[in-house]
Chain A
Amino acid sequence: MKSFSFKVATDAVATVLHPRIPHMVSRLSVTAMAAFLAMEPAVATAAAAGPAIPVAISSTLGTGVNTIDLSGQVIITPRIVTDMVFSKKTVLELTIDFKGVKGVARTVGREVFVTDAQTIIHRPLLSRDAIEVTFPYYITGNFSSARPATATFAVVYDATSGIRITAVIKDVTTN
């Protein structure tokens, strides 16, 4: 005969007996199976995709002969996803596309750095959040020339005006 003797914090014992034993009393209330089957809605999604938000950036990275002027637009597509079953925190999904960003090496002038990096971020939706992501930029197609940069996005949300985003780009110090 199978039973569970659960020790709890007060050292009291809650015993749940195997249902093969008829007429035994469980200290936990029994829930009918039908309730389990009917309890949750079949569809429990509320995902709202907002319009893409262009975020202008302009920054100088590196120093001396390695100075690069980075500019352009980061395109951010937000989605707000509500958990209608567990009522947990609303999820903010940001798809961040850096391909509108270009860099020019200041000393050479012609050497153009590009990126086609994308990143997808999931965070709890807050009224204010600072989201830091990194991305690589490189001479067209040249993996070995790639350098990382950090983009910090200030995300402000309210239900009336939606999402506003500004960004700051800075170098990543690599060892």
Chain B
Amino acid sequence: MYLSKNASAQQIREAERARRNRQEIVQAISHGEISRRQLLKMAIFTAAGGLAAKHGLNPFIGSAHAAIPTGVPRSPLFGANDFEVPMPRCDLMERKALSALSINPQKSANTAPTKVAGPDGILVDGPMEGRPPGEMWSHQGWDLFPPRVAVEVWQKGAEVCDDYKPGVSSYINCGIDSASPIKPCFHTKMAEQSQQSLWTFGGTVPPKLLLGRYGEPILFRHHNSLPAKVTANNGFGRNTITTHEHNGHHGAESDGFTGAFFFPGQYYDYHWPIVHAGFRTINTAASDPRCGAPDGAGGITKLPGDWHETMSTHWFHDHMFSFTSQNVYKGIAAMFNLYSSLDRGNESINDGVNLRLPSGSAKDWGNLEYDVNIMLSDKACDANGQLAFDIFNFDGFLGDLMMVNLTFKPYLYVERRKYRFRILNSSVSRFFKLALSNSAPILQIGNDGNLLPRAVQLTELDEIGIAERFDIIIDFSRYSDGTKIHLVNLAEHQDGRLVAKNLSVSEAISGQSADPCVGRCLEFRVRGDKPAPDPSRDFTISANMTLIPNPDLSSIPVARQRTFEFGRGASQTTKDPISSALGPWGVKTDGGAMLAADFGRRSAAPKAGTREIWTLVNGGGGWDHPIHIHFEEGQVLARDGKASNVPLWERGRKDVYRLRPGGSITLTMQFRDWGGMFMEHCHNTVHEDNAMLLRWDIDKDGTAKLTPLPTPIPKPTGVTFVNPTATLPTAL
């Protein structure tokens, strides 16, 4: 799709024209000047949901002078080369006392008046907090788990970072001087991103990382300081936001529901209680130290709940209805490490509970020296070097620049010892398949937010879908000083639907792939005359491969089974201008019609306190979908109907389920502790936005009778509620 480096000037010119034409469309959508429905009526998109097959517009259609596809021009590099700049560690978010907040947080939304950005950026009177008002959206568990830590962040356009906190020394952080200002650019030779191009937490790069621990509820105050004018976005992104803590076990009011977005000038208080699932019924006396948290002094604070549900690697990102892809791509994504007595981020405390995973020892918990967050993504830039979003069709967006922690193909110094890497795929549509350039073994210890029951030795990781996280361990102890090893992407894409081909390591690093994001993406530079001290877990002992066994659900009856088929050709049965979207993507529930998203429609309503089995089916062979189910971790029971088809690395708990082309996956999950409205959707966020998303509810009172939860309809002047547009007949 991207033009080769040898493309002629004419090819590049044509491709650039076509791209500008497409960007005009993206801009019109993002500015609200035109809807997807209107684009379909104008035949700019075809009946099948693809971009009109016109040269000068569609990159897959031949140009005027040749049969080869017009293609997409490559992003300018401005002389930047691979592995010239260091990989920055993520920037730690400040954790502060609740008393440091200028406005006290409260259980229900703060509706005190303030000035909120209205249509066209004109300020209007509206509520200070964007959270829907009233009891229904008041914080669940507010009195049981009052927040103890406040995190306050402003979503805004790019600016220089002058308070970078990597959490490690400059030596460990590749020599980066955290006291020096960091410009918002992907490489020192690349353009500085404008305030309209890049929107990140705090407006800065590197991307943010939050450290939290069980038993320490967080009040996450998110200010929307994005431009008041919807048009001030460099052609993509929407200035209304809602933040999903992926995959937090929280009440729905703090889940970042797609329809609970808020406007520039407002804030939203999210209450993340950070509890072990099952706390209401399991280990209620908090007597098991495995269900606990670091106490700050080398000990354990014991907590209620099921220790088998301990989670580790999360992230949070925007979930704005119909604009998630553009907003996440624009930078509204950060990582979140959760610490527990099992996974406390201290490799030296040997209390019989701590798994002593590579991290460090200086602090009681949350050491980051040898525990590295890696946010992988693909980006593209326009001719000026500004971040650019493209729309090839409704099938997915691919960039041509590989970014690691928003840095173009960086290097990372490592010592001769074991490291833990928490890898997040934060792309829009791209899958990765990772290996080391020398095919050295990798130990996979986690999948999504969860440590596996047993570590798995691999030389090639499975494809990592969008939003999935793989926690891995690499042992650099046997390499000599100066050795360079690369992280390599083996997954070749031709479009945003699915991986076209898995390459071998030698194929991927040969430079022959037409996909610019195939090949080496991160360079590890080994340093040290001798192996470095490494008190972390000894994986030469077979028993130490055991990490966190799955919760035993065998005694819990299965209350319901449901089937969700993800496919194309969706229809829309509702017409609410705010809550409904148009396909072509959709979800068919329990054999019903393939429906496009409407966050006012209830597609499922599991009863609180029950367990269900859900089968997710890929309704097509020409695409893959990484399906995310919010709220609680699931266990994969079968792939394509067979338990034996579940690979070793999927035998833990998960929250994103890759269907694979033409495949299906069966999982079980519980519905407990909290209630409200949640979502299930494809995390290829272009699919999600067009309109592969559904809403499901958990009744707070757990009764058999579904109490209709009114749908929030946010406006600058305040949130109103409407009755659900529909309830599917099989929802109950």
Q: Do B55 and A9 touch across chains, with their CB atoms under 8 A apart?
A: yes
A31 partner, pick from B38, B43, B505, B648, beta carbons under 8 A: B43
Known: A6-B21, A119-B460. A28 touches B502 (CB 8 A): no
Which residues from B are CB-within-8-Å of A84?
A: 620-622
Which one of B46, B48, B440, B541 contacts A174 once the chains associate, using CB atoms below 8 Å?
A: B440
Which of B81-89, B608-616, B655-663 lies at the interface? B655-663
B731: CB under 8 A from chain A?
no
**Minimum Cβ distance to chain B for residue A146 (Å):** 4
Q: Contact check, B438 vs A35: say whether CB atoms are below 8 A apart.
A: no
Partner of B441, one of A6, A82, A138: A138
Interface string of A14-41 (1 = CB under 8 A from B): 1011110000001011110101111111
Known: A47-B661, A93-B660. A143 touches B441 (CB 8 A): yes
A135 touches B594 (CB 8 A): no
CA gap between A144 and B47 in the complex, in Å? 55
A contact residues around B216 at 8 Å (CB): none
Asked if A120 is at the interface (CB within 8 A of a chain B CB), the reply is yes
Task: Please determine whether A86 and B64 come into contact, CB atoms closer than 8 angstroms.
Answer: no
Interface string of B17-46 (1 = CB under 8 A from A): 110110011001000011001101111101
**Is A174 touching B34 in the complex (CB atoms < 8 A)?**
no
Rounded to whole angstroms, the CA-CA distance of A133 and B490 in the bound complex is 11
Q: How many residues of B contact A (CB 8 A)?
A: 89
User: CB-CB contacts of B274-315 with A at 8 A, as 1s and 0s?
Assistant: 000000000000000000000000000000000000000000
Asked if B475 and A82 sit within 8 Å, CB to CB, the answer is no
* Minimum C-beta distance from A76 to chain B (A): 13
Q: What number of A-B contacts does a CB cutoff of 8 Å give?
A: 243
B594 touches A42 (CB 8 A): yes
| Interchain CA distance A175-B459 in the complex, whole Å | 15
* A146 and B457 contact, Cβ closer than 8 Å, known pairs A39-B47, A42-B588: yes
Q: Which one, B43, B56, B435, B504, contacts A7 given CB within 8 A? A: B56
Q: What residues of B have a CB within 8 angstroms of the CB of A39 in the complex?
A: 47-48, 569
A114-141 residues with Cβ-Cβ distance < 8 A to B are: 115-124, 131-136, 138, 140-141
Is B46 in contact with A9, judged by CB distance below 8 angstroms? no
Q: Which chain B residues lie closer than 8 Å to A37 at the CB level?
A: 569, 571-572
Distance between Cα atoms of A105 and B472 in the complex (Å): 28
Q: Counting CB contacts under 8 A, is A168 at the interface?
A: no
CB of A91 within 8 Å of the partner chain: yes
A116 and B619 CA atoms in complex are apart in Å by 31
In the bound complex, what is the Cα–Cα distance between A84 and B621 (angstroms)? 7
Which residues, 305 to 346 on B, are CB-close (under 8 Å) to A? none
B507: chain A residues within 8 A (beta carbon):
132
Kindly state whether residue A111 has any CB partner on chain B within 8 Å: no
* Known contacts A45-B621, A47-B661; is-contact A31 B56 (Cβ 8 Å): no
Minimum C-beta distance from B50 to chain A (A) = 9
Q: A7-B21, A143-B540, A174-B440 are in contact. Are A45 and B619 (CB under 8 A)?
A: yes
| Contact code string B504-541 (vs A, CB < 8 Å = 1, else 0) | 11110000000000000000000000000000000111
List, in ascending order, chain B residues with CB within 8 A of A172's CB. 438-439, 459
* Interface pair A44/B28, CB less than 8 Å apart: no
Shortest CB distance B103–A (Å):
40
Given A46-B662, A135-B459, A143-B455; A9-B63 close (CB under 8 Å) = yes
Please name 11 further chain A to chain B contacts, defined as beta carbons within 8 Å, in addition to the given A86-B497, A122-B660, A172-B459, sorted by A numbering.
A8-B54, A30-B41, A36-B40, A36-B584, A46-B662, A82-B621, A89-B500, A117-B458, A124-B501, A144-B477, A145-B540
**What would 22 A/B residue contacts be, using CB atoms closer than 8 Å?**
A18-B42, A19-B38, A28-B42, A28-B54, A31-B43, A31-B46, A39-B47, A43-B567, A77-B645, A81-B662, A81-B663, A85-B48, A86-B497, A91-B661, A117-B459, A119-B462, A122-B463, A122-B498, A122-B501, A122-B661, A143-B475, A174-B440
Residues of B at the A interface (CB closer than 8 Å) are 14, 17-18, 20-21, 24-25, 28, 33-34, 37-38, 40-44, 46-49, 52, 54-57, 63-65, 435, 438-441, 443, 455-460, 462-463, 473, 475, 477, 479, 483, 485, 497-502, 504-507, 539-543, 545, 565, 567-569, 571-572, 583-584, 588, 593-594, 618-622, 640, 645, 647-648, 660-663
